[in-house]
Each structure stands twice: as C-alpha cells, then as structure tokens.
Structure 1
Amino acid sequence: MAKKHIFATAAMAVVGLALAGCSGGGASSDNTIDGKPSGEITVLTQRTDLVNTTFKDYAAEFEKAYPGVTVKFEAIKDYEGQVKTRLNTKSYGDVLAIPNTVSPNQLSTFFEPLGSIDKLSKTYRFVTEQAYSGKGYGIAITGNAQGIVYNKKVWAAAGLSDLPTTPDEFLSDLKAIKSKTDAIPLYTNYKDGWPLTQWEGNRGIFGDENASEALITDKSPWKPGKYQYVTDGILFDAVHEKLTEADPTTTDWESSKGLLGSGKVATMVLGSWAVSQMQDAAKTAGASPDDIGYMPYPVQSKGKFYSTISGDYKNAISKYSQHKAAAWAWIKWFAAKSNYSYDQGGLSPLVDGKDAPIYTALKKAGTNFIEVKVPAGKKAAWESAEVKTSEVDLYGPIYRQKMVDIARGAAPGDKNSYFAELNKAWGQAVSDVAAG
C-alpha cells in the first residue's frame, strides 16, 4: 500500500475522536524523552510496501547507533481507520504517525510534547502543523508539494508541450488526450476514496499563505473564483465531460500506479510523494521512469504558479510509551539519517536538509513554493469543528464521491445545486462555530 498523506491542515479536518479511556496519563514521570535511549520500541507505519525491506535496513542502522534499543514495526493497511480506533486504548505503539482525525486540541491527550515550537523550528520544518499552545508534537517523515502527476509521454503524444495555466486549458488538454490517445485522461481513484482528498491540498494556488484562515471564516467558499469552487469545479467538469475512468466504482489504487506508469492513464491529482511510486510502477511495467512528470496545479496568480508545500505524516511519541527516550531517538534519526525523504522524492523535514530532484523541475517550470499557515489560538480547532458541524469532510472522500456521482449522472443534481448545498452547510457551520 502507498503512503496516503496530504496537506498539513488535514490534521485539523475531520470528526473528533471519542476520548473515553484517554485522559492523558501515560508512562511514569521519570520516563522523559531526554533520558538514555533503551528498550524495545514498536513503530506503527502506513508503509506496508517498505516494512519488510527498506525499514528493516533502517532498523539495523539505527540499532548500530543505539545498541540499547530494538526496533519493531507494525504495518497497518487501513492506517487511518485502525489507528483512530486504537487511540481509544493505551495500545498504539511507541512511535506512530499522527492520524488525520486528531485535532490540535487533542494532541496532548495522545502524544508526548517534543519541545517548544521556537526550539524545534531551528532544526525541523513544518513543526507548526502538529502543534498546540506553543508545543510541537510531531516531526514530519518528509515534506510534499502539491500538484499533478502525469505521464509525459502520453501528454506529448496528444501534442501537448506547454503546461496548462488555467482550469479551462487543463480540461482542453484532457480532451486532447482523450481524442488523440488511448489513455484515460484523468483518474480519480474514486473507489479507494482517499485519493480524492488530495484535491484539497492545493489551497495555496492563489499565493495566499492565509488561505486556511480565510476558509474558516468564509460562509460561501464554493462561489466562483474561490479555491473550493475552482478545485472542485475542475473535478466535476472532468467527470461530467467523461474525461475520467468509465466506472469509478471499480478503481484500485495499487493497480492505478501501473496504469499511469505504463501510459494507460495520463494524469492524477496527487501530492509530490506519488512521483517516486509512479516511477517505480513505470519500471515494473517495462516503461521508463523518465516518463513520469509533475506539474503545478493549472491555476496562476499574477502570472505565477504556486504549489503548497507541507509536511507529510508526523512521527509522534505515544503518551503511553514506556520507552520515550528511545522513541524520540528514533524520530530524530529517521528525520536526519534514514534518507527516507530524499529517496521517496520528498522535501527534507530538516531546515538544512536536501530536497529530492523533482522540486528542481517544479522550480524550472516557474513554480513558487508556499506554506499555508495553520490558524492559531482559539481558531486552531475551528476547521475541524466546521467539518464536523457541516458534515462536509474536506479531507475525507464522502462529499467528493457524491460530487463525482452527480457529475456522472448517478445521483440527482448538478454542479450549481450541489455547490449551493455545500455553501449552505458550510456557511451555517461557520456561524455556529464562531458563535461558540
């Protein structure tokens, strides 16, 4: 299974967890993260594809550096679903990636603080994305840009050499691919659901680092010209124009990588983390990994492309770990020594780290990187509250799956009626949450 994470503020954006049995507590007070690393630690991971290969090599190298520590891995296929449930127990490993279902004000309930934001930010990027009350709770396993993975060979076969700069140009290009090649122009991965959440990650396309703060006070984000309208409009129109897979209910994530790698699919909206996986799939299919490219989202602001960058899943320490110093040592080693980020085509989690080559290519295309700020203070949990109140799961698959169904004629309504429905639900939630 692939790594599935998305835009940083996903950590704020879904329903709250039941907190029964999770009052804080944890290991004894003398078991601090700054003690001598020792003991056996269990690391939960969503990378089922690497756990018996690359991760074993990591463990061997780490144990050489810390001979008093043993590392075990537990790979979880349905990471979000299973870990969300386990957080209501005391059994969720020593080190784990913070699930998207944990809102900022819940971090201290489940995880050990790693230090102040001021201190952590001197070494690590993206530390404000999993923080609360000035404390950081997670270190990114890697960083991502947001945009579109595409098969360059297919796009060239359709006569397309320039990158699209507007949604209309993008849709026109998809139509050219449909008419001039045998490839599926755009693949939604509807059935697996989570790939649809990747569309939310492009909030910075207008060059506004305060886009998330604007969203949580906006009562009509699905109006023309606004981000939600633009990004969901592209998806809706592509499906409506039959530029996506014929039967979205039969899609499959793992096989879709081979489809894009071999040129049977032209385009997917995914974070930059997907590039290395598509390149591997191309090699497996007997194609060239050089066929895989990454383009900025087809929107420009004042003539410039903007790509949102953010941290991926954040490694954190369980409040209930009995070996917190060893867990902290692993997190720091993983960020600084494993080379995971570079090998997976990512942005380094270190301030002075080395980024993968794909980002050089994006910059050559004139792309500006932007970090969208996470709202602070009392507004830190507003988005998650608005998602829960409105039942519009921005970082879940449900509302976009419904949108796809409407667009393909499998559910009643049209784009205008559905966007009006979303505005009504979201607008009421904004009012309710702001009122306290």
Structure 2
Amino acid sequence: MNRRTVLAVVVGAALLVPGCTGTGGSSKGADAKAPTDPSKVTGTIKVLTVRTDLVQDGTLKKYAAEFNKTYPKVKVEFEGLTDYEAEVKIRMNTENYGDVLLIPAVIKKADYPRFFASLGTQEERGKKYRFTDYTTVDGKVYGQSPVAVSPGFIYNKRIWKEAGVTEWPTTPAEFIEDLKAIKTKTDAIPYYTNFAAGWTLTSWTYVDGAVTCDPQATDKLAEGDPWAKGADLRTGDQLLYDIVHSDLIEKDPTTSNWEESKPRTAKGEIATQWLGTWAIVQFQDAAKKAGVNPDDIGFMPFPSQTDGKFCATIAPDYNQGINVHSKHKAAARAWIDWFTDKSTYAEDNLAISPLKDAPLPAVMKPYEDEGVKFIEVDDAQGARVKQLDSDSEVGIYAPEYRQNLVDLARGARKGSLDGFLADLSKRWTDAQKNLGS
C-alpha cells in the first residue's frame, strides 16, 4: 500500500468491534518514557505499517540499520498490512498488536489510554511538535506522526501550459474553464476521478478549512451544517460535481486504475487529480520510470482565496502509537522518537515534517513563492465529528459518499445536486440534535 491512508479509510467509530473497547490497558493507561541511555535500551520490537512497498523493497530495513547505530541492542521487525484497518482492528481484541503501530482510525479517541502508552504531556510535546491535539486525552499525548500532509491538486505542468494556463486558478469557475481548455487544446484527460479505487475520492473531504482559510473548520463540522451555502465541503462537492457534469473526466470512471494513473499523469495522458502532498514523490517516481521529466509534476492548492491568498491545511498522517502491553516500551519509544526526529523519512517522501522548526520540503517552494498560507485545523472537535459521521451514516471519510456524487453528476444516479446535498445536511444535523451538546 504505497499511498497516504490516514483518514482515507473507514473512520466511523461504529465499526469498532465490541471487544475493542475493553481489551486494552487500564483506563489510566501507561507511560512510555523516552530513554536517556541508548546503550541500555534492549529488546525486539515489531512495527506494524501500511507501507507494504517499503517493507518489500527493503527501505524500512535501511532505516532500522541507521537506528541501530544509536540503539545497537534493539532489533526492529516490520510487518506490512495491506488491509491495515481491518486486520489491526481484529488484533486489538487481544494484547498482540505489535509494539509500535499506526493508530487505527476506528479507535475512539477516549479509548487511546486503553490501548496505547503515553508519550508525555501535550504541554511538553507541543513545544516541539505540531498536531499534538490529534492524540491528546486528558492532557497526555498517545501518538506521533512522522510526517504531515496537505491536500491539493497533482497536475502535469506541461499539459496545463500547452492549454495556455500558466497561473493557478483562484476560483472554482476559473478551474472549470482551465479544465475545458485542457480538453480543447490537448489530448489529456482534464481530470481523473480514480473512482474505482474509492479511497482517492475521500481526499475531497480535506478541502475543509482550505476553502475559507479557517483553522476552526472542524468545529463547524461538529456544530454547523457542512453543506450550507458557502461551507467548505459544499464548495468542494459542487466543484467535483461540476467537473464530472461538464464531462471533463475519464470516459468510464468505474474502470479507472490508481496505479496506472501515476505514469499516465506523468506522461501527460492525465492532467489533474485531487490528492495530497504525500502523492508527489510517487508521481515523480512514476515519471522517472516512464522516462519523462519528473519536474512536470506540479502541485496546486484548491482554487479559492481569502484576502488575496491561497490557503492550504496541513494535518498529520497516521500517528504511531506504542502498544500499552508492549514488554519493550523503552525500545518502542526510542524507535518513534528516532523515526520522527532523526530519520530521513519525511525528506525521502517530500513530506512536511511535524517538527515545528523544520523547513518546508523543496517541492513546496511554489507554495512559498505564491505566499500560500498554511493553517493547522484545530482537532479539538475531531472525536465529535467522527461520531456524527457514524451516527448520520454520511461517511465523509468513506468512498461511497463521493462515488454517489460522481454517479449523480454523470447521470448514473437519479436526482439533483441540491437534493443530494440537502439529504446529507438533514442526516448530519439530525445526528447533531440526537447527540446533543
């Protein structure tokens, strides 16, 4: 699985199997303190990961070899899981779910102390790292992501230039006109939905916050109507609908292919996809393998400006946590700290570092040149949003919602966009009333 999967898989807390709420540690949890003497840290730890590609090609072993230069008495073993969420969810009914693992999206935030050891207080870790609120329970932090990501459009700069477009569109209407120019003046598919993969469409939820440049966007999902006029999700859904309805996508979305879309975009057969910074290195690698210029792969923000500036949200990828039952918590903590602070993982993936003092990756220089404003969306209401998503059965983090939207736009599903969005609004706001304050 060589893609970003954080929150791009099922998130609903309703998917948590009953046993998963009581098989972890005590409600008070446990601490995994950072070791002070590397020579005294010992043990074999198992690290669970979605990066099956890095397990298979030996990249993770290379990281472990570097880690062993500091911690020679720790052996690190890796297990890559293709259907990560489903498999780990089952394992977490036991005590055997690795020593270090990516915190599954289905685990309720309040249950983190049952399953994971604390990495320290938010007050302490917040001085050095971004996004500590995403895994904080009662003032303690239970997970750390090694990279941060930002949503945006992967695009082929050469194709856009051939269509006569040299400036990023600043409104959804301009974006549609630019795609129409690509369709008229080039042979490329203007926009590729990657409908069949499903998870790719969930990336559209991450327009939230970027459209209106609002760090409190999650609060508005928790307390307001995400599909009200002018709301971020409505704006994103309207754009996706218009792209499809204007026949600016692949001929048959149901036969789209994620892996094939990477070299096809690199070669200019596809012009644009909405994904995220995590995808840039994959598309550039595809370009190299295809013998075309990797510099043709560009990245642009959502076509909306606030006070004359584009905005882009940044958020953590999967957070790594330590199994509360691990017999080698010091070794597990050493791995998480080293992998986050010292490894080249973020650099190798052209990703944004969670370290507050780290520079942006070079691939984001166009964002700096254009003065794009980065915002960190407050996740204080994140648990409530997941609960609302589950109760309403809308599925803003699941594929079906956007697949239904695409089907509606291309005429494979009956109804109107207004009716479709009104139904989402009603189900969401009804869930808010039932959930209460």
1:285 equivalent to 2:273? Answer: no
TM-score, length basis structure 2:
0.93
The residue that corresponds to 1:225 in the other structure is: 230
Question: Could you say if the C-alpha distance between residues 14 and 173 of structure 1 is closer, same or farther in structure 2, counting changes exceeding 3 Å?
Answer: farther
For the residues of structure 2 that align with 1:85 and 1:179, how far apart are their CA atoms?
50
The residue that corresponds to 2:372 in the other structure is: 367
Checking the alignment, whether the CA contact within 8 Å between 2:41 and 2:71 is kept in structure 1 is yes
1:322 deviates by: 1.7
Q: Please give the secondary structure, in 2, of the residue aligned with 1:196.
A: helix
1:63 deviates by: 1.7
Q: Please give the secondary structure, in 2, of the residue aligned with 1:294.
A: strand
The residue that corresponds to 1:153 in the other structure is: 158
Question: Could you say if the C-alpha distance between residues 380 and 405 of structure 1 is closer, same or farther in structure 2, counting changes exceeding 3 Å?
Answer: closer
The correspondence of residues 246-325 of structure 1 with structure 2, limited to 5 A, is: 246-325=251-330
The correspondence of residues 147-226 of structure 1 with structure 2, limited to 5 A, is: 147-205=152-210, 206-218=212-224, 220-226=225-231
**Which of 101, 121, 135 pairs up with 1:116?**
121
1:136 deviates by: 0.8
1:391 equivalent to 2:384? Answer: no
The residue that corresponds to 1:80 in the other structure is: 85
Per-residue deviation, residues 249-284 of structure 1 (Å, max 9, x unmatched): 122222211111111111111111111111111111
The correspondence of residues 36-47 of structure 1 with structure 2, limited to 5 A, is: 36-47=40-51
1:88 deviates by: 2.5
The residue that corresponds to 1:421 in the other structure is: 423
Per-residue deviation, residues 367-411 of structure 1 (Å, max 9, x unmatched): 100011012xxx552111101111011111111111111111112
Checking the alignment, whether the CA contact within 8 Å between 2:155 and 2:299 is kept in structure 1 is yes
Question: Could you say if the C-alpha distance between residues 276 and 55 of structure 1 is closer, same or farther in structure 2, counting changes exceeding 3 Å?
Answer: same
Q: Please give the secondary structure, in 1, of the residue aligned with 2:153.
A: strand
1:192 deviates by: 1.3
For the residues of structure 2 that align with 1:393 and 1:400, how far apart are their CA atoms?
9
**Which of 100, 108, 112 pairs up with 1:107?**
112
Question: Could you say if the C-alpha distance between residues 72 and 335 of structure 1 is closer, same or farther in structure 2, counting changes exceeding 3 Å?
Answer: same
For the residues of structure 1 that align with 2:194 and 2:124, how far apart are their CA atoms?
40
1:6 deviates by: 4.6
For the residues of structure 1 that align with 2:30 and 2:115, how far apart are their CA atoms?
18
For the residues of structure 1 that align with 2:30 and 2:377, how far apart are their CA atoms?
37
For the residues of structure 1 that align with 2:323 and 2:187, how far apart are their CA atoms?
49
For the residues of structure 1 that align with 2:354 and 2:294, how far apart are their CA atoms?
25
Per-residue deviation, residues 46-74 of structure 1 (Å, max 9, x unmatched): 11121232211001111221111101110
1:14 deviates by: 5.1
1:3 deviates by: 2.5
**Which of 329, 333, 350 pairs up with 1:328?**
333
Name structure 1 gaps, 5 residues minimum. none
Name structure 2 gaps, 5 residues minimum. none
Which has the higher mean CA deviation after the structures are superposed, 150-159 or 342-351? 342-351
The residue that corresponds to 2:16 in the other structure is: 17
Per-residue deviation, residues 315-346 of structure 1 (Å, max 9, x unmatched): 11112222111111000010111111011111
1:56 equivalent to 2:55? Answer: no
Checking the alignment, whether the CA contact within 8 Å between 1:309 and 1:369 is kept in structure 2 is yes
TM-score, length basis structure 1:
0.93
Per-residue deviation, residues 180-199 of structure 1 (Å, max 9, x unmatched): 11111111111111111111
For the residues of structure 2 that align with 1:349 and 1:32, how far apart are their CA atoms?
20
The residue type equivalent to 1:156 in the other structure is: K
Question: Could you say if the C-alpha distance between residues 64 and 416 of structure 1 is closer, same or farther in structure 2, counting changes exceeding 3 Å?
Answer: same
Per-residue deviation, residues 19-40 of structure 1 (Å, max 9, x unmatched): 41643238xx999544652111
For the residues of structure 2 that align with 1:242 and 1:353, how far apart are their CA atoms?
42
Question: Could you say if the C-alpha distance between residues 341 and 198 of structure 1 is closer, same or farther in structure 2, counting changes exceeding 3 Å?
Answer: same
Q: Please give the secondary structure, in 2, of the residue aligned with 1:50.
A: helix
RMSD, matched Cα = 2.0
The correspondence of residues 329-344 of structure 1 with structure 2, limited to 5 A, is: 329-344=334-349
1:237 equivalent to 2:242? Answer: yes
Question: Could you say if the C-alpha distance between residues 151 and 13 of structure 1 is closer, same or farther in structure 2, counting changes exceeding 3 Å?
Answer: farther
1:87 deviates by: 2.3
For the residues of structure 2 that align with 1:241 and 1:15, how far apart are their CA atoms?
36
Aligned residues: 428
Checking the alignment, whether the CA contact within 8 Å between 2:49 and 2:79 is kept in structure 1 is yes
Question: Could you say if the C-alpha distance between residues 6 and 70 of structure 1 is closer, same or farther in structure 2, counting changes exceeding 3 Å?
Answer: closer
Q: Please give the secondary structure, in 1, of the residue aligned with 2:154.
A: strand
Question: Could you say if the C-alpha distance between residues 382 and 11 of structure 1 is closer, same or farther in structure 2, counting changes exceeding 3 Å?
Answer: farther
Q: Please give the secondary structure, in 2, of the residue aligned with 1:401.
A: helix
For the residues of structure 2 that align with 1:252 and 1:81, how far apart are their CA atoms?
23
Question: Could you say if the C-alpha distance between residues 30 and 185 of structure 1 is closer, same or farther in structure 2, counting changes exceeding 3 Å?
Answer: closer
Per-residue deviation, residues 63-115 of structure 1 (Å, max 9, x unmatched): 22111110111011122232233223322211111122223112122211111
For the residues of structure 2 that align with 1:56 and 1:132, how far apart are their CA atoms?
33
Checking the alignment, whether the CA contact within 8 Å between 1:15 and 1:384 is kept in structure 2 is no
Q: Please give the secondary structure, in 1, of the residue aligned with 2:63.
A: helix
The residue type equivalent to 2:418 in the other structure is: N
Checking the alignment, whether the CA contact within 8 Å between 2:31 and 2:120 is kept in structure 1 is no
The residue type equivalent to 1:209 in the other structure is: P
For the residues of structure 1 that align with 2:324 and 2:260, how far apart are their CA atoms?
38
